Structure 1
Amino acid sequence: MSLKNAVPLPLILLFLAVSLQPVSARAGWGETLKQAGEAGSQAMGLSVGPSRIEAAFRELLGMGTDAAVESLSADGGFSTLAATALSLPESYRKIAETVAPNLLASLNSAAEAAVPGVGEQFKKAIATMEFSNPGSLLSGSKTAVTEYFDANARDSLTRGAAPLVEAALNQAGGGSILSAIKQLGSLTGTPFDPVDYLTRKTLDSMFLYIGKTEEGIRSGDITTTSELLQRVF
């Protein structure tokens, strides 16, 4: 090997330090690689460096967001899965059949209408997301990237989604919806904030679909992916 092409001694030592550790002690290798850069990753025999791993994470999250928007924004999108189906407080249900029989349908319409805008909020968050330890996420659970995104972006996404949900609720007949909820609240003594509920339910449902996408990519069940995702996962 010529001096020009020789692997720098610090990178050789880095490789040895990581490779000689027990598997259980390598959880932080992603942060080490991130600090070493692309050259360090290549010196350690990896086909992709940390920046490419992060790019794969963003692509994965973007695919999941697209899948969520397509499914949830469709007519009846939230009721497709039991985990995403909307519901009224238990004390409301029987009375609502008489007092406000269309209330749940109106809430579904509002949630479906809000999803595309919420999806754009997700895309913006994905574009700026920092992955502090990409290596541990890559070797983590089947939804590790989704869980990381949820934990780090949930608060800002909630702030961004709430006005979109409120606007969609108004479009779906906000006055009559709020009036019906106020009446049901008086009759049952149970408070219910439709904007808060729909915002939380929409985000939960979005993350559910993103998680399913990540599971599919990691397991190979989703095969129509880019070369980058195939190399990383």
Structure 2
Amino acid sequence: MKKIFAIIFSSTLLFACAEMTQVLEEVNGMTGTPVLTNGEVISGLKEALTVGTNNSTGLLSKVDGYYKNPALFIPFPPEAQKVKDKVIALGMESQVEKFEMTLNRAAETAAKEAAPVFINAIKGMSISDGFAILKGNDNAATQYLKDKTSAELKIKFQPIIKNAIDQVEVTKYWNPIINTYNMIPFIDKQNPDLEDYVTNKAMDGLFLMIEKEEKNIRSNPIARVTDLLKKVFGS
């Protein structure tokens, strides 16, 4: 009789323990997924942005990374559209095409140097920023990076763009176009700031690609290339 009672008592205790464990797991959100520490969240988000920026700059720094991508192609400066229309009418269409190509080549060249600039900007993420990003929209990390770093990135990026513009000889194709246009009688002379224009467009393209990478990491398990990314974004 005592043995039967002991067996019943033990079984009841085991079931109670099992139920308690399940309740605790559900309360702590641990069912199938380990609890994330603050450090893991921040490290995971920084890693995601690092992976995203490296992938993005790698793709954009290749030949035609901007030029053959319709979403990122840098066109003739919109504020100088009248310049483009006039000089094409004067038979300079090929010069316009070459000029547009060099704008995109400048952005592609600059993208090679952009990764370290972005990575340095990622380091200052706080714990509260991290959890807000983790619970935010699919582009929350990209938006954080854009909001926090655009002004500083532009300052750092402009010399890179200037050097790239010099390397691909943008002005070689721009000067004949603008000089021809400005010689037309009774027109308002134009001369857009090409460095500023290419800098802004190149940065827009980079953020667009980083956003695409972030969404991929959030939604596609295959894109989570490290154990930490799997843990953070699989939770």
TM-score by length of 1: 0.73
| Cα deviation, residue 222, structure 1 | 4.1
User: Is the 8 Å Cα contact of residues 68 and 205 (structure 1) preserved in structure 2?
Assistant: no
| Cα deviation, residue 217, structure 1 | 1.1
Query: Larger Rg: 1 or 2?
Result: 2
Please state if 1:144 is matched with 2:164.
Answer: no
Q: Quick one: distance in 2 between partners of 1:56 and 1:177?
A: 45
Q: Quick one: distance in 2 between partners of 1:112 and 1:225?
A: 26
Deviation sequence 1:104-150 (CA, Å, 0-9, x none): 11112211111111222112212344454322211110111110110
| Cα deviation, residue 83, structure 1 | 2.3
Q: 1:115 aligns with which of 100, 111, 118?
A: 111
SS in 2 for 1:78: coil
Q: Quick one: distance in 2 between partners of 1:201 and 1:127?
A: 24
Q: Quick one: distance in 2 between partners of 1:185 and 1:200?
A: 25
Aligned positions of 1:60-71 closer than 5 A? 60-71=48-59
SS in 2 for 1:225: coil
Q: Quick one: structure 1 residues 224 and 56, their matched pair in 2 at CA, closer, same or farther if it must change by over 3 Å?
A: closer
Q: Quick one: distance in 1 between partners of 2:169 and 2:114?
A: 20
2:226 matched residue in structure 1:
226
Q: Quick one: distance in 2 between partners of 1:137 and 1:125?
A: 16
Please state if 1:78 is matched with 2:66.
Answer: yes
Q: Quick one: structure 1 residues 122 and 137, their matched pair in 2 at CA, closer, same or farther if it must change by over 3 Å?
A: same
2:12 matched residue in structure 1:
none
1:50 matched residue in structure 2:
38
Q: Quick one: distance in 2 between partners of 1:184 and 1:214?
A: 45
Q: Quick one: distance in 2 between partners of 1:175 and 1:87?
A: 15
Percent identity at matched positions? Answer: 26
Q: Quick one: structure 1 residues 195 and 137, their matched pair in 2 at CA, closer, same or farther if it must change by over 3 Å?
A: same
Q: Quick one: distance in 2 between partners of 1:70 and 1:78?
A: 12
1:7 matched residue in structure 2:
none
| Cα deviation, residue 71, structure 1 | 1.5
User: Is the 8 Å Cα contact of residues 185 and 191 (structure 1) preserved in structure 2?
Assistant: no
1:47 aligned partner, one-letter code: V
User: Is the 8 Å Cα contact of residues 92 and 184 (structure 1) preserved in structure 2?
Assistant: no
| Cα deviation, residue 200, structure 1 | 0.6
Q: 1:162 aligns with which of 158, 162, 171?
A: 158
Unpaired runs of 5+ in structure 1? 1-18, 20-41
